[in-house]
Each structure stands twice: as structure tokens, then as C-alpha cells.
Amino acid sequence: MSHHPVAFLFPGQGSQSTGMGKELAALYPVARHTFQEADEALRFSISQLCFAGPDEQLKLTENTQPAILTMSTAVARVLQEKGIVPQFAAGHSLGEYSAHVAAGTLTFADAVRTVRNRGRYMQEAVPAGEGGMAAILGMTVEQVQQVCSDAAQGEVVSPANINSPDQTVISGHQKAVERAAELAKQRGAKRAVMLVVSAPFHCELMQPAQDRLEKDLQVLPFGNPEIPIISNIDATPKTTGEGSRQALVRQVTGAVQWSKSMQTLIGLGVKTFIEVGPGKVLTGLMRQIDRAQTCMSTEDEASMQKVSNLFAAAVKE
């Protein structure tokens, strides 16, 4: 395995849980320092929010985004200290920022402040209750696209996260999303579930958020990533600072091409995927995309040890 490339995958919103990072911060100075760095950059204790909640505060988009980024960065730094380094990376929506921090494109402090604003801008782009999202299971993305155009009736509804061949999340005006979910069921979807979200992410209703975020990203220094980052917007590797910046801008209204991004990495010869940060969402999606791949999550000491053992065994081969 030491001769096969490794990819780090960074989770997005929805993977957070109260208590995340507490154990790792107690065990690893580099993790503890990462949480302290976030607290200093944000001028409030995001570490307290991660370690102890309250849950309803952690769930607010403008807190969730920096919290997950901080947790993922702490985990990535622990892995790198153990000599586990990726040759490629990708991140789901918000996770693309974590990937760029790991690749040195953006400083951690800049990224953590930016995603706090990103969360706020997304929250403020659409009045509460006007937007919605739904997960459609057991339909191809082409079928979902057709359902969306048939259900729109002059409103916005479109694929937002193309997560696996079996799972597409749609986003747009609340009523249009409800119509599309209903129509998907009629046309044979296994399930169509309305999601509990604070805003309709990754659709054209997010344009005001994208415009505000673009201004912030324009003034930040972007380096060239040290490893290629597969971007959500087009599932292709980004190797320049400018290309990375543009991808992060377009990502706000664009669909997350996760399934295609994983196929890109598999095509580049990646055999081992490590989900870096909270939860196991991306590990679950990999099982739907390609069961032959090794994908492991790292969010606590037990999972960290499993990954370390796998790499120790590979080095001996």
C-alpha cells in the first residue's frame, strides 16, 4: 500500500457532533494547539463548542463550518505527525477548505475566519423557511435532474450534492423541493427525504452568498496547493492558487460533484482513502461509489490507531 497513492477526504456540514476533538486534544499537543489557534483566530472559544456544546449552538451554520474545519485540521495534523501524508485530497463542500489548509493553499487562521463568514452569508442569502433540501435515494442523477425540471414550475430546484450513483441531494425553493420529492417517489425513487437544513445550499438561490464570499476570497493570499485538490465544482484536480480560489467561489451556487470526484481519484490510482475529521459520512458514500476501495475514518484515538496500524503494516511489506 505504501506504493499506492493515498487521498485525504474532508467532511462537510452535518458531520459535526458535540464532544468532537476532545479526546484528541487531550492526547496530542498538535491537536490541542489547532483548537487554540482557532479560538484566537475567531476571538471566541470554538474549542469549547466542539468539546462540550451546547448542541443547538454547534448546529448554527456559522459555528458548524469553522468547528468542522478545526476538527478536520487537528486530525490531519495528527496524521501527518504520524507520517501519514496524502498524495491527493478532496473535501465535501465546506471540506474543500479543510483540504486546502492541509495542502498549504490557505493558512488555517484565514480559512477558519472565512468559513465562519461563509456560513453566515449562506444563512442570510435566503429568508428562513423559503428554501429547502431533500435527499433522493435510488435514482440516477439524470432522473433526478428530470424530476427537478418537471417540478420547478418557475421556481428553483436542482441537484445540489451528487453524492453517489444512488444518492442525490436537491436544493431550492421549499415548495419546489417538496414537489420534486413527491414526484421522485411517484417515479420510483427508493426514498425522498426532506432534510433539516438552515438554507438551500448549492443552488442559484445562494448567489448573494457567493457574491459576498468572492469579495472575501479575492483579498486572501492563495498559494499553489502542495498536492492536487479535486474540486467539487468540476471533479478535476486544482494545482494553482488562482484555480483553487475560483473553485471555492463557484462552489457556493454549484453542485457538489462528489461521486465524480471519487471516480477521478480512483482513476489517478488512489487505493486508500482516509476520512479526516468528524463522522463517517464519506466512508459510507465510498461504499456506494466503489466497494473495492479501502476507506477509513479518523475522529478519535481508536480510529486513529486503526489507520496507524494499517500504515505500519504497509511499510513493512
Closest to 298 (Cα-Cα) out of 15, 79, 52, 5: 79
The residue from 15, 202, 261, 297 that is catalytic is 202
Rounded CA Rg of the chain: 19
Q: What single DSSP character describes residue 205?
A: G
Catalytic site residue 171?
no
297 tagged catalytic: no
How is residue 234 written as a grid cell?
468540476
User: Does residue 114 contact residue 82 with C-beta atoms inside 8 Å?
Assistant: no
Catalytic residue among 15, 47, 93, 171: 93
Q: How far is Cα 303 from Cα 316, in angstroms, rounded to an integer?
A: 20
- The rounded distance, in Å, linking the Cα atoms of 144 and 259 is 15
What letter represents residue 223's amino acid?
A: G
Long-range contacts of 19-23 (CB under 8 A, 24+ apart): 19/50, 19/51, 19/52, 19/53, 20/50, 20/51, 20/67, 20/71, 20/278, 20/299, 21/47, 21/50, 21/51, 21/70, 21/71, 21/74, 21/278, 22/50, 22/51, 22/52, 23/300, 23/301
| Catalytic residue IDs | 93, 202
